[in-house]
């Protein structure tokens, strides 16, 4: 079989349709129109397996039958082809449905904290940063070892954080059993739930894209949604909690869960996010155990 050399070739290969046009959206993403009138999104990877990980995550989230997820048309080590989401406006009604659907997605569960989606690789990605899906039996120790400390070390090695500053984050990790709230079973997480990955569809539903899916604590998805903002956020959270109440004190734990995405962003984008991570850590340390 001939190698795939362009987004149009990838779209034709994985859909079995002829291509009538393409429109580059970025260096890695292209919108491709098929001869049946449908449009697909074609993402070009770098051969590291990120496209395979994303495809596995999309399928796992879709299998829950809750939040809308664009269908995967095909993938390999370098290419991912999915249906395009026709976008509409961010409405209060869609926010209500999204809050309920997100609660149901989390309740679909995962085999363990850190579990990769079925068929997904252990070595995955969150955005452009490597993310290892290594399992653990309890959330505090797993979160510290596999989500916070790896990115903290990378930030220190890069000079983005000083050793003395890093000690504050390490102290949070040492106190996680006190700070984490009541134990919960592993939830099925989107894993990279910032506003850019929340698409308000023309069908009046929210669709989620670009996951870093894994088994984790459901408050982590909510904390990331809070970190970068989202239309109708209060309504989303209210409807989530009506469907699946959160343990008392959840709002005070938001910063603990935000350490992971903030440190990832510090590694990728620099000092500004490192300072936000330090603020979150120091705020958490002031909380009583």
Total count of domains within the chain = 2
Same structural domain, 64 and 187: no
Phi and psi torsions of 125, nearest 5°: -145, 150
Residues shown for the chain: 289
117 and 204 housed in the same domain: yes
What are the start-end ranges of the H helices in the chain?
Answer: 7-15, 50-63, 92-107, 139-143, 149-157, 163-174, 176-179, 218-228, 233-243, 254-269, 271-285
Nearest CA among 188, 174, 173, 163 for reference residue 107:
188
Comparing CA positions, the residue from 157, 126, 164 lying closest to residue 262 is 126
Query: Using 50, 70 and 90 to split pLDDT, how confident is the model at 289?
Result: low
| 9-56: pLDDT as tens digits | 999 999 999 999 999 999 899 999 999 999 999 999 988 889 999 999
Checking if the pLDDT of 2 tops 80, the result is: no
Do both 168 and 263 map to the same domain? yes
Nearest to 84 by CA among 45, 43, 31: 31
What number is the average pLDDT over the span 100-118?
Answer: 98
Could you tell me if 68 and 106 lie in one domain?
Answer: no
Residue 45 shares a structural domain with residue 113:
no
Neighbours of 112 (CB within 10 A): 18
Cα separation, 96 vs 237, in Å, equals: 9
Q: Are 208 and 197 in contact (CB under 8 A)?
A: yes
Final residue belonging to a domain, choices 49, 84, 119: 84
Please report which confidence band the pLDDT of residue 228 belongs to, taking 50, 70 and 90 as the band edges: confident
Q: What digits encode the pLDDT tens for the residues 113-162?
A: 999 999 999 999 998 899 999 999 999 999 999 999 999 999 999 999 99
Please, which residues have CB within 8 angstroms of residue 248's CB and are 6 or more apart in sequence?
A: 181
Claim to verify: residue 216 and residue 288 sit in the same structural domain:
yes
| DSSP H helical ranges for 144-204 | 149-157, 163-174, 176-179
Query: Choosing from 75, 76, 101, 192, which is the catalytic residue?
Result: 192
Token pair of 136 as six digits: 């653990």
Q: Which domain holds residue 279?
A: 86-289
> What is the CATH number for 138?
3.90.1200.10
Residues 250 and 263 grouped into a single domain: yes
Residues 52, 114: one domain? no
Q: What CATH code is carried by the domain that includes residue 31? A: 3.30.200.20
Measured in whole angstroms, the distance separating CA 10 from the mean position of its chain's CA atoms is 25
The two structure tokens encoding residue 280: 């979150």
Q: Cα–Cα distance between 247 and 139 in angstroms, integer?
A: 15
> In the listed set 84, 115, 137, which residue is the last one of a domain according to the structure?
84
Q: Tokens 């959330």: give the residue.
A: 139
225 vs 220: CA distance, rounded Å: 9
Residues 234, 146, single domain; the answer is yes
List, for residues 254-282, the tens digit of each pLDDT value: 999 999 999 999 999 999 999 999 999 99
Give the residue carrying structure tokens 């969150």: 126
Do 4 and 114 belong to one domain? Answer: no
Work out the average pLDDT over 83-101: 97
Domain edge (last residue) among 64, 84, 104 = 84
Helices (H) and strands (E) in the chain, counts: 11, 11
* pLDDT band, residue 252 (cuts 50/70/90): very high
Specify the pTM.
0.95
Instruction: Say if residue 70 is in the same domain as residue 129.
Output: no
Statement to judge: residues 161 and 268 lie in one domain: yes
Q: Is 168 a catalytic residue?
A: no
């Amino acid at each position: 079989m001939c190698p795939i050399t362009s987004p149009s070739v990838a779209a034709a290969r994985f859909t079995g349709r002829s291509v009538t046009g393409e429109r580059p959206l970025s260096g890695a993403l292209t919108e491709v129109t098929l001869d049946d009138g449908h449009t697909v999104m074609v993402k070009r990877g770098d051969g590291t397996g990120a496209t395979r990980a994303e495809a596995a995550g999309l399928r796992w989230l879709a299998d829950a039958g809750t939040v809308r997820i664009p269908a995967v048309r095909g993938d390999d080590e370098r290419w991912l082809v999915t249906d395009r989401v026709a976008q509409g406006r961010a409405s209060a009604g869609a926010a209500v449905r999204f809050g309920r659907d997100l609660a149901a997605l989390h309740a679909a569960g995962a085999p363990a904290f850190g579990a990769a989606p079925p068929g997904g690789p252990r070595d995955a990605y969150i955005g452009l940063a490597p993310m290892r899906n290594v399992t653990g039996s309890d959330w505090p120790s797993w979160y510290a070892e596999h989500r916070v400390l790896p990115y903290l070390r990378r930030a220190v090695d890069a000079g983005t954080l000083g050793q003395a500053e890093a000690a504050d984050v390490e102290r949070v990790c040492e106190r996680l059993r006190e700070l984490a709230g009541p134990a919960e079973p592993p939830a099925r997480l989107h894993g990279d739930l910032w506003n850019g990955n929340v698409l308000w569809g023309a069908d009046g539903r929210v669709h989620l894209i670009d996951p870093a899916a894994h088994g984790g604590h459901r408050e982590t998805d909510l904390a990331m949604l809070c970190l970068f903002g989202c239309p109708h956020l209060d309504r989303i959270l209210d409807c989530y909690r009506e469907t699946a109440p959160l343990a008392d004190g959840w709002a005070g734990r938001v910063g603990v869960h935000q350490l992971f995405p903030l440190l990832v962003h510090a590694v990728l984008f620099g000092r500004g996010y490192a300072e936000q991570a330090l603020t979150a850590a120091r705020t958490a340390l002031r909380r009583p155990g």
